[in-house]
Chain A
């Protein structure tokens, strides 16, 4: 009778401890951000690893999402005789919602998992201890550039996703479905607001960049240093990042657009 209860209690305590360690790590990373000023090369390397290497998957996904949005949107809008608003619909959906969210999910799957596995393996093979013994702080040297690289790459990738998506919508809407080209672009220009839509979308994506990279780095840093431990952390990194992104998206959307 008491056994399951005790187990539950222990699991809750462990989860809370992990949460605490996660926040301490984030604090250490934030305190170490100055390191990249001393060694900007480390940041460029990571922006390449995380950002540039994710470009292809983000671009291709953006294209298809934009094309599907145009197909679906046209179906609904044309029933109300509002097909020329297709450009607004596609763009607003991308910039406000799908761009930041889908990009964050893609980055968590592609770059986040790679970060977790990399850091986890460095821990399992004592490379992190080795750095400490060489009087080099692994948080500053290894984690900080990756964190900043992830956080800065995310809004850029989301912007590319949305831009490619708008083009995809254009190909399908204007090219295939015969929406008026002038209407597609001019309505978009008139109705999409810089602050309301673009800035809020960017802020979302910045927030997603923080949580996705933070979760990936923490899962790697906190891994049980065995091959099984690393594989479990990698899975957990992707699952947690996806859930947190979707949850956080609801909160941010409610705060930004909820009135």
Chain B
């Protein structure tokens, strides 16, 4: 860990420059620049299908960009070998959209998994840590349940406990609020903020719940069609009058962002004599 402690630019934990990424013909990112400052909660927002999940997978090295650089804690993710990447990932927690719990292990064993895998802690120490993490997400009582017995929202919280098990330097949240009732949503928001500030974490939050996200984030990025279309503090974006920002922040159905996947005009499409 000692070599990792010295980062090139300490105030920026994640630095993305000129990122390009394609899925077949479809361009997902085109020359994207983005900074995540250390110790902040940074939200990345954008309509469904713009590539928010893809962005998280690029940052964690699960996908490789076609061009551009992604530096995390001073290390170029695209150039790391598997061992170095795994070492870096031990310091990042990721909360998947679906939870991604191991279905054949209980809640307790799921949270204990990274501890047993990457540390030599004694069984009683592992137990203490697991119970503390589960307590933090309010699910200490659910330790003996299997993932199939959890609701979607509970599974997400267990996954959060697992993501913070190794006390990472950074957590990436993929849509943490979907499927949460208002109470657990409020709890989760408070938890994300509290984890971030109390443990000196850096958080990246991907979401399209504009209001909730804006209320806990320090900094917002809005991406659309492969680019950053707006950035700034929540207050700055709330005051921004550009059409992009207004449409997204106010949830207007029409504006520069269209609801439809790219397609030829409807009339033209209906008149074409083709089987599909």
A contact residues vs B (CB 8 Å cutoff): 121-122, 125-127, 129-137
Q: Within 8 Å CB of A121, what residues of B?
A: 103
Q: Which residues on A sit within 8 Å (CB–CB) of B151? A: none
**Contact at B100–A127, with CB atoms within 8 Å?**
yes
* Residues of chain B with a CB closer than 8 A to A137's CB: 82, 86
Are the C-beta atoms of A127 and B86 separated by less than 8 Å? Answer: no
Residues of B in contact (CB 8 Å), total 25
Q: Which residues of B contact A133 (CB under 8 A)?
A: 60, 62, 89, 92-94, 96, 100
Interface residues in B86-135 (C-beta closer than 8 Å to A): 86-87, 89-90, 92-94, 96-103, 113-114, 117-118
A-B contact pairs, 15 of them (CB 8 A): A121-B103, A125-B98, A126-B98, A129-B96, A130-B94, A132-B62, A132-B89, A133-B60, A133-B93, A134-B90, A135-B86, A135-B87, A135-B90, A135-B118, A136-B117
Main secondary structure of the interface of B (DSSP, over half): mixed
The 10 closest A-B pairs by CB, nearest first: A130-B100, A135-B86, A126-B100, A135-B89, A133-B94, A135-B90, A134-B114, A126-B96, A126-B98, A127-B100
User: Which residues of A have CB within 8 Å of B159?
Assistant: 130
Q: Chain A residues near B86: list those with CB within 8 A.
A: 135, 137
Report the nearest B residue to A126, measured CB to CB: B100
Q: Knowing A134-B113, A134-B114, A136-B117 are in contact, say whether A129-B87 is a contact too (CB < 8 A).
A: no
A126 to B92, CA, bound (A): 17
Cα(A126)–Cα(B56), bound, Å: 14
The answer to whether B100 and A125 touch across the interface, beta carbons within 8 angstroms, is yes
What are the interface flags for B66-100 relative to A under an 8 Å C-beta threshold, 1 for contact and 0 otherwise?
Answer: 00000000000000001000110110111011111
Are A127's CB and B103's CB within 8 A? yes
Chain A residues near B102 (CB, 8 Å)? 127, 130-131
The smallest C-beta distance from B84 to any residue of chain A, in angstroms, reads: 11
A139 to chain B, nearest CB (A): 11
B38, chain A: closest CB distance, angstroms: 20
Question: Taking the nearest CB of chain B, how far is it from the CB of A124, in angstroms?
Answer: 9
Complex CA gap A74/B113 in Å reads 59
Min CB distance B165 to A, Å, is 9
Closest to B82 in A: A137
- For window 128-171 of B, CB contacts with A under 8 Å fall at 159, 162
Closest to B61 in A: A132
